[in-house]
Amino acid sequence: MSRKDPDLLIQTTPVLRQGLTTPHAMRDVWLSLLPLVLAATWFFGIGALLLLSATIAGALMTEWVFTPEPRRRDVIRDQSGLLTGLLLGLTLPPGLPLWMAFLGGAAAIGLGKIIWGGLGNNLFNPALVGRAFLLGTFPIAMTTWSPAGGPGQLFEIQGSLFALPFQSPVYDAVSSATPLGLMKFEQQSTGLMRLMIGNTGGSLGETSGFLVLLGGLFLLLRRDFDWRIPAAIFASAALFSGLLHLVDPARYPGPLFTLFSGSLLFGAIYMATDPVTSPLSPRGAWIFGIGIGLLVVLIRNFGGLPEGVMYAILLMNAATPLIDRYTQPRVFGRKAGPG
């Protein structure tokens, strides 16, 4: 034998792997969010960037502090904490004090992720846990919307952002209302064009329907999410709001307004599709999406709050283990699924 045998590895098959990895998928998501970040800056000034930095800092610092040493590098590397902070930031009102945003980021990771055992184990969407915590904690600050400005105000930062920790913010501008608030409390509709462009009051990232859809399209083409979930949400929200609209057009907004106002698009594309907290099976995804659409229409039209997307998604997150359990795919060659 002229050559020595190589040291052979004994690793069980399959040897081959599909190229895609989890950090790739995460990177896709934040890439698709970049236009929204730019739009938020355009509409609400560079304060938007400060706010996003605050949530991201809150998220990453919490993650760093509460993750035991050997896993720290991994949890930063998988980018999910960054993404949670970014997503949370995009759902906040533009004038929210930075300390609240930071606290929200910390709550999102602390309550939404760390206590569950980290990425993949959490059962509620961390960003939405953070937002629900903020909305419950600071209901006034979380529902005070500053009006969308223009490029002229790009470098004006709202004073309320710099409220000292634990202190109430003082708002310098007259607050505006979101299209949903206008609809619910003053029966004023907002034109579809404005909803698509996004120069309305609302959370940083949710106002521009067009850009949200664009990001969704990108993720769809990259196959980064289960298209069934947004599809089911849109279909059921459109259907139920359409039915209500037929009953009383004056009182209930039509499907288009329902779809393009508030955070429905943003929630459906970026929050509901979080794979960790949504059902695994296709049938489960449909049920999950339909449930969200139904709850959104229910809360918006019959509830006390103008917006219900966050709560709808959290509630369906809670139901996800049950959905998963009862929508196990039918095993090949068997009459029914397991479970």
Cα 271-142-297 angle, rounded to 5 deg: 50
35 vs 303, which CB is nearer to other proteins? 303
Binding of other proteins by 186 (CB under 8 A): yes
74 vs 246, which CB is nearer to other proteins? 74
Applying the rule CB under 8 A, the residues between 125 and 154 that interact with other proteins are 129, 132-133, 136-141, 143-144
Amino acid (one-letter) located at 243:
L
Give SS3 for 43.
Answer: helix
Which of 65, 172, 185, 246 binds other proteins (CB under 8 A)? It is 185
Applying the rule CB under 8 A, the residues between 34 and 73 that interact with other proteins are none
CA-based nearest residue to 276, from 102, 107, 122, 89: 122
Amino acid (one-letter) located at 281:
S
6 vs 152, which CB is nearer to other proteins? 6
Binding of other proteins by 187 (CB under 8 A): no
Binding of other proteins by 314 (CB under 8 A): yes
52 vs 114, which CB is nearer to other proteins? 114
Applying the rule CB under 8 A, the residues between 225 and 264 that interact with other proteins are 226
Q: How far is the CB of 167 from other proteins (least distance, A)?
A: 5
What are the CB-based long-range contacts (under 8 Å, 24+) for 324-332?
A: 324/279, 324/280, 324/281, 324/284, 327/279, 327/281, 327/283, 327/284, 327/287, 328/281, 329/281, 329/282, 329/283
Applying the rule CB under 8 A, the residues between 99 and 118 that interact with other proteins are 100, 111-112, 114-118
CA distances from 270 to 10, 217, 316, 326 (A): 41, 12, 15, 25
Applying the rule CB under 8 A, the residues between 11 and 30 that interact with other proteins are 11-18, 20-25
